[in-house]
Amino acid sequence: MIVVIDYDIGNLASVVKAFEYLNVPVKLSSDYRALAEASGIVLPGVGAFGEGMENLKRLKLEKRIIEEVRTGKPFFGICLGMQLLFSSSEECQETAGLGLIEGEVKLFDRNKVGKVPHIGWNQVEIMKKDQVFNGLNGENFYFVHSYYVKPVRDDVILGKTNYGNQTFAAVVRRDNVWGMQCHPEKSSQVGLSVLRNFSGVVLNANNTSN
């Protein structure tokens, strides 16, 4: 069972529906005990960094997420959920992120990219082979965001995207934690392929642990 974390933020239902379309067992929950029972965890979201972290803390999910990741459980952050994986954000400098991946979330520079937010379809250039990219090779995904992640270490970057005169990390991974700035649930069949591939990672991890 994959648990999609319900933390009173936008764009949760569409992620659940995407997994349901793929016939993947999924549950939307804000119960921290559900994370312990999950085979894999997804943190999606559209909204502000500060509000997202505040909601996770209020629901007693922040520490539980970190504990579950430390067990090796597959974890996937989408859009805001990806940004919350990082240490800090320019959007809310007084609020620390989950710190699962070292780095900062930064606001796009309009002088480099033009329009902010970045909205639309852009290619994700695959930098490293990974299970979540099985069957994919540089397809376009749908983006909606004003901030981008800047990891401390380049070796966590799985995919990059060009927007205006700037290249940013679009997909990252550190051990059992994946993050994707674009929206697979809104990216037609290529996005569904990513979610299907992540479901396969969860299934393999579960079989290995049994």
Residue of 62, 79, 91, 104 with catalytic role: 79
Report which of 188, 175, 194, 202 is spatially closest to residue 26, judged by C-alpha positions.
202
Which phi and psi angles does 113 have, rounded to 5°? Answer: -110, -20
Residue of 68, 104, 145, 183 with catalytic role: 183
Residue of 62, 91, 139, 185 with catalytic role: 185
Give yes or no: 183 in active site. Answer: yes
Q: Is the peptide bond before 184 cis (omega within 30 degrees of 0)?
A: no
Give yes or no: 185 in active site. Answer: yes
Inter-residue contact 151 to 128 (CB < 8 Å) = no
Inter-residue contact 42 to 6 (CB < 8 Å) = no
- Could you give the count of Cα atoms lying within 13 Å of 180 in the half-sphere of its Cβ? 27
Tokens of 53: 């972290």
* H-assigned helices in the chain: 13-21, 32-37, 49-58, 62-70, 80-83, 110-113, 188-209
Catalytic annotation, residues: 79, 183, 185
